[in-house]
A and B are shown apart, each in its own frame.
Chain A
Amino acid sequence: MYQFTYHRVDSARKAINLAEKNEDAKFLAGGMTLLPTMKQRLASPSAIIDLNPAADKLAGIEQRGRAIVIGAMTRHYDVANSKIVQDAIPALADLAGMIGDPAVRHRGTIGGSVANNDPAADYPSAVLALNATVFTNKRKIAADDFFKGLFETALEPGELITKIVFPIPSKAAYMKFPNPASRYAMVGVFVARRGKEVRVAVTGAGSNGVFRASKFEAALTAKFHVKSLEGVNASADGLNSDIHADAAYRAHLIGVMCRRAVNKANGK
């Protein structure tokens, strides 16, 4: 780790003020991504703005109308174990329960995960498939506009995610094929149906990060049943190849995981 200045803040406002003054400052949420990269000397922010003292204001889960609102500092563990989430969007609680290990789930936050946009992270698929809205200190950003590529988002420097709003779907499920080593998603498929709209988001597989699988969406919009997916295959173009899975295998797994997710969403 290189030297840096450490700030603790107990409100979003103070965090934003500090961030405006320090161009390469970083917010610290759960630290599950940021701290390892700093320890490996791959990141060297001049200042850290620790959001944890503000966690009581930035965390929390509630239902507002037909949506679930989750504060940015809400830990994965709390999402996984929230009665509200389990009742309204069980697929989202399932997903949170599949992230990392217990230590990671007790520290890591939804805001940190979404801001980081790791191409193998789980949450981005939920945000995209559930057509969630990301709220920041400045504006609200629709899921389709938020994820911009590998570790890239629509966030501007110093912009703070405050909460994420998930419309409640009628059916949804997440199927994760974990990377055997890291247990991040090697292929994760989130399917969700709300009204007539079906959205299928794929994480872990795309060489440009999370994406929507339009062929699968079209087939499932016609009928939300696994039979609709007969003959529907993902293309290997634009998918990752690494020692754990080549693009062809990932493409194959998108199909398998999508079918299993649809079955699960249909209670099968």
Chain B
Amino acid sequence: MSATGIGAAVRRKEDLRFITGRGQYTDDINRPGQAYAYFLRSPHAHAEIKSIDTRDARAADGVLAILTGDDIAADKVGGLICGWMIHSKDGSAMKAGAHPALAQGKVRYVGDHVAVVIAETLAQARDASEKIKVDYKVLPAVVDMNDAVKKGAPVIHEVSGNNTVYNWHLGDKAAADAAFAKAKHVTKLDIVNNRLVPNAMEPRAAVGDYEPGTESFTLYTTSQNPHVARLVLSAFIGIAPEHKLRVIAPDVGGGFGSKIFIYAEETVCVWAAKKVGRPVKWTADRSESFLSDAHGRDHVTHAELALDEGGKITGLRVNTKANLGAYLSTFSSSVPTYLYAPLLSGQYDIPAIYAEVDGIYTNTTPVDAYRGAGRPEATFVVERLVEVAARETGVDPAQFRLKNFVRSFPHQTPVIMAYDTGNYQAALEKALKMADYRGLARRKALSARAGKLRGIGFSAYIEACGIAPSAAVGSLGAGVGLWESAEVRVNPIGTVEVLTGSHSHGQGHETTFAQLVSDRLGIPIDNVSIVHGDTDKVQMGMGTYGSRSGAVGMSAIFKALDKVIAKGKKVAAYCLEASENDIDFKDGKFSVKGTDRNLDFGSVALQAYIAHKFNGQDLEPGLKEGAFWDPTNFTFPAGVHICEVEVDPETGITRIDRWTAVDDFGRVINPMIVEGQVHGGIGQGVGQALLEGVHYNKDGQLVTASFNDYCMPRADDLPSYNVGMTQTPCPSNPLGIKGCGEAGAIAAPPAVINAITDALGHEDVPMPATPLNVWRAAQKAVAKKAAE
């Protein structure tokens, strides 16, 4: 292994600019003559807009334009789309209501976009917005899913009279029912997966620009997938054809899913730029982020696990209501369906599974993918159920898992997925050692002496990453293919630019992708730069989410590098006067087999461009190759996390004392970056488990609308992590990568809740397990014990 090759803990190349304040984020971009947009947002969760009077506002200082839904309609700007078609059990298509970029006749959540003011300065735009008079007829709002589906509930979209977008299902109901009919023990659980606000460090932003000379638009925006944004803005929203629309996603400060989607704000900025003849900038403030970034999770689930007399799992039934918010965001329909239920087998050999999912509209912010997207929700269901089943049957939770793990691969689950490889017991056994499971009793006793309750919680998670085989997702309703593209441009002196359709917004691609190139071409890592995030530079790409950049994005680069090496061999053959078949490429040198004649990579690159040693008709000059990689399967990262907590029953405060993580991510490119991803993921998972939770009041006002009430994890909420790994290389991509970006966020919540419930001896602990919730649960536990 070289110091900068695959497997080396290379320091992140991009960090110098990030930590010295030299990053170029969307808000750092200023175009000549730029104006500012301010969105007037609905203060009501549900209201009819009877009229909008903008006369006074138009006359206010600095105002260039005030645009409303009427202007959107007049210009025939298409609505925002949901790109994944889900069919209900009865075969009917999902019921998606229109989603105009500026409200037309009705607002459906607090924060919905009513009008945009474009002015010389942001302060002027905001001042003018206060002069807009909107006549609302306030309608009853519905925020609770159970209320939303009741007869007589307020109807949010006419197309969906019962506020239900779909009643979807997966699996074999008859087989599952049969398993339950024969079961010796059934464990039942009601679970709420709390709604989260993504809270990327950088708020969303957009700068729209229009060049009348060439009739072309440029949109700078905080996107995880600028090409998908361009595709949607062109093909569906109709801003401009793709060759007249350039989308640039420069440095992006975190996304966690929330920057995958195509939102109203960037749509309006790019459209308005032409209308007002000025570049238009919008940057969300944190309050707007809370209201308008797509939220995550928000499931209510009833789940049941069937066991035979030997404690083997024989069946699983799951019924989930998924809150989709007031509109269908870009990929929202897929998250609680195909990104969720196919993971319900967990790491276990479960012969029969049946899942039903209802997607429901409410008068709340739209909900879409958030770090893990569906898989954390599935893992939470499975790992809570398994833990409770072990406790109810008096079996050690580790042993219970070992007994039920999938042991042979490939393994076809009853819910679509075919697990390619893994070694689940190895991860669990390693984690038990690292966590000093044997010493638990002693530690429990010590805690008890100090008046504290100690508990341990396991989470043996699995996820499907590297999304995804295009034809497969197409058959499930996806509107796009999920391959990735890459182009490797070798410059005449042998430096390399890699253009990738993956997008880095914290993942460290500029380092890991360069490691791959350094490794394969044998050139210094500093001779490699990674270019991404610009539709004029990178031909096409599907972006970054679902831990796909390594498994899919790097595979495309790998394939393009193969082509570069093959072409290099041809050039070298001419230069070294040997047959192409006799040329070897190793450690950056092209050499003739069995001789000491060789040329280094840079020399071959130069020869490729000067084209003196070969006939340009026989071999094309130049050294530049592209590739598309379409995966043949998902990848299946898996692992075991063990959380140990100490609960103060007097105050309800939970302190995480120990955290052990053993993950199998397949081949690891940069262990330091992978460990960082694990740490960050666990931090977010602990956030969900202990601290974060969206709260609406019954009128649909967001109560947790700032960091004063919405609790983000801070460093001192988190323990020091004990991170280990096992490795079973993924067989379906050339590097053997599985992906690591979401693992921590998927694994952590059930580990924490399993630990707290273990500490209390009481299963009903809602997430987030705030001091209030834990104290209440502790009171109930005491009352229950007293009653027994």
Contacts and interface: CB of A to CB of B under 8 A. Distances in A.
Mostly, the B contact residues are: loop
B711 interface: yes
A231 interface: no
A1 B123 contact: yes
Interface string B697-718: 0000001100111111000000
Contacts of A243: 695, 703-704, 709
B240 interface: no
A256 B709 contact: no
Interface in B644-694: 650-652, 691
Main secondary structure of the interface of A (DSSP, over half): loop
A245 B774 CA distance: 11
B650 A246 contact: no
Interface in A208-258: 243-246, 249, 252-253, 256
A67 B709 CA distance: 38
A180 B650 contact: no
A63 B709 CA distance: 39
Most chain B beta-carbon neighbours within 10 Å: one of A2, A243, A256: A243
A204 to B, nearest CB: 13
A249 B709 contact: no
Contact of A245 (B711, B712, B772): B772
A177 B648 CA distance: 13
Contact of A181 (B123, B708, B775): B708
A252 B775 contact: yes
Contacts of B709: 181-182, 243-244
B287 interface: yes
Interface residues on B, range: 20 to 34
A177 B772 CA distance: 12
Given A40-B287, A177-B651, A182 B707 contact: yes
Contacts of B770: 180, 244
Contacts of B652: 249
A181 B714 CA distance: 10
B397 interface: no
A182 B705 CA distance: 12
Interface string A35-53: 0000011000000000000
A180 B691 contact: yes
A245 B711 CA distance: 14
A264 to B, nearest CB: 15
A182 B772 contact: no
Contacts of A180: 691, 711, 770-771
Contact of B651 (A1, A181, A256): A256
A249 B775 contact: yes
A244 B772 contact: yes
Contacts of B287: 40
A67 to B, nearest CB: 34
Interface in B736-788: 770-772, 775-776
A182 B708 contact: yes
Contacts of A256: 650-651
A120 B76 CA distance: 51
Contacts of B708: 181-182
Nearest to B126: A41
A246 B771 CA distance: 11
A245 B776 CA distance: 10
Interface string B497-535: 000000000000000000000000000000000000000
Contacts of A182: 707-709
A124 B771 CA distance: 24
A252 B709 CA distance: 21
A182 B704 CA distance: 11
Contact of A246 (B703, B710, B772): B772
Given A1-B123, A180-B691, A243-B695, A249 B772 contact: yes
Given A1-B123, A40-B287, A253-B651, A181 B707 contact: yes
12 contacts: A2-B127, A180-B691, A180-B770, A181-B704, A181-B707, A181-B710, A244-B709, A245-B772, A249-B776, A252-B775, A253-B651, A256-B651
Given A243-B703, A246-B772, A249-B776, 9 more contacts: A1-B123, A40-B287, A177-B651, A181-B712, A244-B709, A245-B772, A249-B652, A249-B775, A253-B651
Interface of A: 1-2, 40-41, 177, 180-182, 243-246, 249, 252-253, 256
